[in-house]
Amino acid sequence: MNVEYQDKNTREKMQYWRNPENNIVYETYGTPNHNTFSESQPIMDLNTKINNVRLAKEGKFDERKSVYLDSHFEGIVDQYIYDIRQGGAQKQAALHSSTNASVEIINVFGEVFGKLDRKYAGKNMAREIPVPNLVIEIDSVKKYTGMTRIGEMQLPVQKELPYSRQHFEANKYGLQFEISEESQLKNVHNVLQDSMQVAGNKVEQKASYDVIEQAKLLPSITGSNWGSFDTNTDHSTTNPLDNLLAAVSKIEGAGAGGKADRVGFTLFTNSKYVSNTNIRGVANTGPAQGYEFEPGTSPLLGMDGIGRVLDNGFGQGIAYITSVNVEPSIAYFQGPQRVGSKHNEITGSDEYFVIDYHLAALIAANTTDSPYSTGYQITSVSTPVDFS
């Protein structure tokens, strides 16, 4: 006897064979070799079943024993019987068919609508700092300006280490949603799980937008048009590296002590960057490298050690360059989060809420206290695309 069944967890086809010598059913991954069951798992004893039938006829129901030798297989059989009783043979066939498995039927909603969201990479322009409180006080210190040349037997001039304090308060964001009893009864997918996943995506979305809004407040440097082209020489008129290195020099050459390690722009600005002949070369015999049309963080082509952040939330025609690891330009303070629920006894609905405390703030940009900045925005690097 041979019966095939597809395991829902491993997607492997299991076979069930009865050994005629001992009347025991074995589970195997294939046909037993040379009619031996040494590598098979015994799951059911048909001798016990025959004995149970005899005891039942004699009225000795209490003496019956379980015919199953494997608890997993026993659960499969119980589910099989339950499906038939609940929905008939048609539902049973759909649930146990390898082509129309239950997991594919129930979760098809998540594949086509709602639960998934695009990547929000703008958050990677900032240094994420977890904070337990809603009030953040940052004590920063100005670095000494440098060494002083002195003559013989002279002492250096004493310098005081000046401190400054910045005050921040985390913002409070919330999302509350209700799952009605009717929606749970009407739909075959998991309404609660779908709603929770959507709510979780919105926290990342808001965080990235907040960081991008702070990047727009960075001091600006006027750049050159990366897309301009000289038709006579087949070369790009401008070099994007000159603009980026100008910002790097202002960040790393000043007294702030930052290190430029992250550049962010839109996909349109990135297309101008990677198509510039100073980046891709004039006679490119292979496929153009560096074309990315998916938001995310990856190495910046042409400048080792700097990460490229692509996000549609950035303004067109502007390149943002920040320091993340050393003297961060922008801080993303992640405060406490709270998730809760309550049940409405009248309507049978369940209500859930997500409360998130976070704040994106400039912490090392041009201010009256700090004349140096570890982040800049380079404007006019490309012409914004007119969608009208």
Residue 195, in any domain of the structure: yes
Residue 241, in any domain of the structure: yes
Do 187 and 333 sit in the same domain of this protein?
A: yes
Which of 278, 182, 286, 293 is CA-nearest to residue 227?
Answer: 278
Q: How far is CA 143 from CA 135, 140, 166, in A?
A: 26, 10, 16
- Cβ atoms of 170 and 207 closer than 8 Å: no
Where is the domain boundary, 90, 106, 122? 106
Residue 31, in any domain of the structure: yes
Do 7 and 87 sit in the same domain of this protein?
A: yes
pLDDT digits (tens, 9 = 90+) for 60-109: 767 778 888 877 777 777 776 666 566 554 444 444 444 444 444 445 55
Determine which of 34-38, 139-143, 300-304, 361-365 has the lowest per-residue pLDDT on average: 34-38
- Cβ atoms of 341 and 387 closer than 8 Å: no
- Cβ atoms of 373 and 323 closer than 8 Å: no
The whole-angstrom separation of Cα 79 and Cα 77 is 5
Q: What is the mean pLDDT of residues 331-341?
A: 92
pLDDT digits (tens, 9 = 90+) for 3-41: 555 555 554 567 777 787 888 888 777 676 666 666 677
Q: What is the mean pLDDT of the chain?
A: 81
Q: How many CB atoms lie within 10 A of CB 167?
A: 8
- Cβ atoms of 302 and 293 closer than 8 Å: no
Do 168 and 83 sit in the same domain of this protein?
A: no
Do 101 and 180 sit in the same domain of this protein?
A: no
* CATH number of residue 369's parent domain: 3.90.1690.10
Do 220 and 93 sit in the same domain of this protein?
A: no
Residue 129, in any domain of the structure: no
Do 221 and 337 sit in the same domain of this protein?
A: yes
Do 81 and 201 sit in the same domain of this protein?
A: no
Residue 387, in any domain of the structure: no
> Is it the case that residue 317 has pLDDT exceeding 90?
yes
Do 97 and 177 sit in the same domain of this protein?
A: no
Residue 133, in any domain of the structure: no
Do 202 and 348 sit in the same domain of this protein?
A: yes
Look-up: residue for tokens 């290195």?
245
Which of 306, 326, 293 is CA-nearest to residue 264?
Answer: 306
> Is it the case that residue 306 has pLDDT exceeding 90?
yes
Per-residue model confidence (pLDDT) at position 112:
64
Residue 39, in any domain of the structure: yes
Do 363 and 250 sit in the same domain of this protein?
A: yes
b/e burial code for range 84-119 (CB count within 10 A of at least 16 → b): eeeeeeeebebbbeeeeebeeeeeeeeeeeebeeee
Find the distance separating the first CA and the last CA of the chain, reported in whole Å: 70
Where is the domain boundary, 65, 85, 106? 106
> Is it the case that residue 110 has pLDDT exceeding 90?
no
Name the more confident of 299 and 17: 299
Do 182 and 328 sit in the same domain of this protein?
A: yes
Is the pTM higher than 0.85? no
State the residue range of the domain holding 12: 2-106
Domain count, the chain: 2
Residue 58, in any domain of the structure: yes
Where is the domain boundary, 91, 106, 121? 106
Look-up: residue for tokens 């040349």?
149
Do 71 and 174 sit in the same domain of this protein?
A: no
